[in-house]
Amino acid sequence: MNRRLAIAASVVLFHIAALWAIQTGLLRRAVEVIVPAEVLSEFISPPTPKTEQLQPSAPKPQVQAPQKRQTPPAPLPVATPVPTPAPAAPTGVSAPQPPAPAMTAPVSTSPPGPPAPARLELPSSDAAYLNNPKPPYPALSKRLGEQGKVVVRVLIGADGTAQQAEIRTSSGYDRLDQAALTTVLKWRYVPGKRGGVPEAMWFNVPINFVLE
Domain-located, residue 175: yes
Rounded CA-CA distance 163/185 in Å is 7
Q: Can you give the pLDDT of all 212 residues of the chain as single tens digits?
A: 677 777 888 888 888 887 877 777 654 554 454 444 444 444 455 555 554 444 555 555 555 555 556 665 555 554 454 555 444 444 444 555 666 666 665 555 666 767 777 788 888 888 777 889 999 999 999 999 999 999 999 999 999 999 999 999 999 999 999 999 999 999 999 999 998 899 999 999 999 999 98
Look at residue 146 and tell me if it is in a domain.
yes
Distance CA 120, CA 106 (A): 36
The pLDDT of residue 22 is 73
Q: Is residue 111 part of a domain?
A: no
Task: Evaluate whether residue 101 is within a structural domain.
Answer: no
Report the 10 Å Cβ neighbour count for 158: 14
CATH number at residue 150: 3.30.2420.10
pLDDT for residue 35: 44
Domain that holds residue 133: 121-209
Tell whether 56 is covered by a domain: no
Rounded to an integer, what distance in angstroms lies between the CA atom of residue 211 and that of residue 138?
Answer: 11
Give residue 47's pLDDT. 56
Q: Is residue 105 part of a domain?
A: no
Nearest Cα neighbor of 144 from 48, 59, 209, 53 is: 209
Q: Is 84 inside a domain boundary?
A: no
The residues with which 203 forms a beta bridge, in sequence order, are: 154
pLDDT at 72: 56
Cβ contacts of 146 within 8 Å, gap of 6 or more: 138, 140, 171, 173, 175, 176, 209
169, β-bridge pairs: 151
pLDDT value of position 6 = 79
Total structural domains in the chain?
A: 2
| Residue 181 to residue 13: CA distance in whole angstroms | 190
| Straight-line distance from the first to the last Cα atom of the chain, in angstroms, rounded to the nearest whole number | 210
Q: Are 156 and 162 in contact (CB under 8 A)?
A: yes
